Amino acid sequence: MSFRRVKPLLLCLAGLALAGTAGAQIPLFNVVTGEPLDLSYALEEGRDTEAVKTFLETGVNIYNENPETLKKGEEVFLTACSGCHGHHAEGKIGPGLNDDYWTYPGNDTDAGLFRTVFGGAQGQMGPQYGHLTLDDMLLSMSWVRHIYTGDPATATWLTPEQQATFKPYPKTTPEPEE
Ligand code: HEC
């Protein structure tokens, strides 16, 4: 066989190898049942952003403390989360998300937080994949991290550089349940 005929075959094999590595993804499972999360349920839109790709490969949310996207994160949080968790995530129907106490200890990592948001937890904390794109989930998570009122030293989801400059968000009193 001449090289001219083999070349397309080699390219094809290289392509297959690449496709294999592109599938590498952080482990994601439901926080309550432990079942793997099926990302094929995600809305079509917002799957291929740089933030989503980076997050699925590394567990790092590049929207954290990003001055260009925090405002969008706030908007998503106020639309999709604050009704239950309070305007400053101080707690309402759902628990406070702005301190370092977590019902599900994995929520002190962004992979853990994503698992809770995508797949839901118990009771009214339903899976968010029907309402929010993967990108919006990461945006809402960055706002949850931004309004953290605790000690920056315990904000392990931030990079060491971000931890060094992070200013805890002012505390507010929980709103009464409706
Ligand atoms: C309809 C009400 C409701 C909405 C909307 C809602 N949550 Fe929740 N959330 C809850 C409840 C109730 C719980 C407690 C569930 C449990 O303990 O299993 C909870 C739990 C959580 C937890 C786990 C907290 C812990 O201590 O481990 C996180 C994280 C969370 N929600 C984030 C979010 C984010 C982010 C959004 C918006 C994208 C959101 N939630 C939208 C009601 C809601």
Question: Is there a domain that residue 170 lies in?
Answer: no
pLDDT at position 24 is 77
Enter the DSSP assignment of 153: G
Pocket of ligand 1 (CB under 6 A): 80-81, 83-85, 93-95, 97, 102-104, 107, 113, 116-117, 121-125, 128, 132, 140, 144
Interval 76-102 mean pLDDT: 97
- For residue 172, pLDDT over 50 is answered with yes
Q: What is the pLDDT of residues 23-52, one digit of tens each?
A: 679 999 999 999 999 999 999 999 999 999
177 domain-assigned: no
Is the pTM value of this prediction over 0.85? yes
Residue 26 has which token pair? Answer: 């952080």
The candidate with the shortest Cα–Cα distance to 135, out of 66, 33, 32, is 66
CA of 92 to the centre of ligand 1 (A): 10
Note whether residue 171 is domain-resident. no
Q: Identify the residue whose C-alpha is closest to ligand 1 atom 7.
A: 125
- Domain assignment of residue 178, yes or no: no
Number of domains in the chain: 1
What pLDDT shows up at residue 14? 46
59-83 pLDDT, tens digit each: 999 999 999 999 999 999 999 999 9
CATH number at residue 68: 1.10.760.10
**Close Cβ partners of 32 (under 8 Å, ≥ 6 residues apart):** 120, 121, 122
pLDDT in tens, 108-163: 999 999 999 999 999 999 999 999 999 999 999 999 999 999 999 999 999 999 99
Q: Which residue has the higher pLDDT, 25 or 175?
A: 25
| Domain region containing 134 | 3-165
Specify if 159 maps to a domain: yes
Classify residue 60: in a domain, yes or no: yes
**Within a domain: 30:** yes
Q: Tell me what pLDDT residue 175 has.
A: 59
- The terminus-to-terminus CA distance of the chain in angstroms comes to 76
Task: Determine, yes or no, domain membership for 175.
Answer: no
Q: What pLDDT was estimated at residue 176?
A: 63
| Residue position matching structure tokens 């496709």 | 19
Give which of 143, 178, 151 is closest to 167, Cα–Cα: 151
Q: Are 115 and 30 in contact (CB under 8 A)?
A: yes
Q: Is 81 annotated as a binding residue?
A: yes
**The two structure tokens encoding residue 152:** 């920056």
- According to the model, what pLDDT value does residue 27 have? 93
